């Protein structure tokens, strides 16, 4: 299954940190397409306290096998660094968002949502770590419409600037598009470059 993903982050002098991500997962079996996911997002955090920051987020994804032709999400919120130890970090965030979604059948819906997430990371060394992230995205207008996304990742160093990353992603939609499954599970592996 060919997949491509890239992540980058940079910090401006002072209180700003910016992160961007994009990726694609495509698969076929016996000449038939079995997966087609495209995503990108941008996030900016402004720290107003050593452990607290305000964030803005904008994202796009297309997952035709989940019945989504396109989905845009914008969110504003606050994030907190709950644990900041030498080898362990745990953060929590919450915010409000707006979603604009078009299904592959042409139906459109726009709705307000909550964006909540937590990430835990344990460093074995400076370049080797395990990380677990979970986000909960409920629709504020339809209570049974919510999504839960989870990523479990392990990064092992190959050299001082290159690591091998293995990740297992679960994308759950409690109210999927008609005729679509609630779960989407993706296992990925790839190189990670750090400078």
Closest of 110, 113, 103, 112 to residue 135, by C-alpha? 113
State the CATH number of the domain containing residue 36: 2.40.160.40
161 vs 106, higher pLDDT: 106
pLDDT at 162: 84
The answer to whether residues 67 and 176 touch, using CB atoms and an 8 Å cutoff, is yes
Rounded to two decimals, the pTM is 0.88
Average pLDDT over residues 149-162: 92
Tell me which of 8-12, 18-22, 149-153 is least confident. 8-12
Average pLDDT over residues 115-143: 96
Q: State which residues form the domain around 131.
A: 3-193
Residue 65 DSSP SS3: helix
15-57 pLDDT, tens digit per residue, is: 899 989 888 887 778 888 777 889 999 999 999 999 999 999 9
Closest of 3, 1, 5 to residue 192, by C-alpha? 5
In angstroms, the CA 166 to CA 157 distance is: 12
Which of the four pLDDT bands, split at 50, 70 and 90, describes residue 169?
very high
In angstroms, the CA 150 to CA 135 distance is: 7
Which of the four pLDDT bands, split at 50, 70 and 90, describes residue 138?
very high
Q: In the block, which residue shows the tokens 């207008």?
A: 141
Which of the four pLDDT bands, split at 50, 70 and 90, describes residue 115?
very high
Is the pLDDT at 2 greater than 60, yes or no? Answer: no
Q: Among residues of the chain, what percentage have pLDDT more than 70?
A: 93
Is the pLDDT at 14 greater than 80, yes or no? Answer: no
72-95 pLDDT, tens digit per residue, is: 999 999 999 999 999 999 999 999
Query: What's the structural domain count of the chain?
Result: 1
pLDDT at 190: 84
In angstroms, the CA 51 to CA 78 distance is: 11
């Amino acid at each position: 299954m060919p997949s491509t993903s890239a992540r980058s982050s940079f910090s401006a002098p002072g209180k700003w940190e910016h992160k961007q991500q994009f990726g694609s997962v495509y698969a076929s079996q016996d000449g038939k397409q079995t997966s087609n996911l495209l995503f990108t997002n941008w996030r900016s955090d402004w720290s107003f306290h050593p452990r607290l920051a305000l964030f803005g987020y904008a994202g796009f994804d297309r997952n035709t096998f989940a019945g989504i032709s396109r989905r845009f999400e914008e969110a504003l919120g606050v994030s907190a660094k709950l644990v900041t130890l030498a080898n362990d970090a745990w953060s929590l965030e919450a915010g409000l968002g707006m979603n604009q979604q078009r299904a592959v059948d042409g139906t459109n819906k726009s709705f307000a949502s909550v964006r909540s997430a937590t990430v835990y990371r344990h460093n074995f060394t400076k370049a080797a770590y395990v990380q677990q992230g979970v986000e909960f995205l409920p629709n504020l207008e339809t209570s049974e419409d919510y999504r839960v996304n989870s990523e479990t990742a392990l990064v092992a160093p190959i050299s001082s600037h290159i690591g091998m990353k293995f990740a297992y992603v679960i994308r759950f939609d409690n109210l999927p598009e008609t005729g679509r499954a609630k779960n989407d599970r993706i296992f990925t592996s790839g190189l990670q470059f750090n400078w």
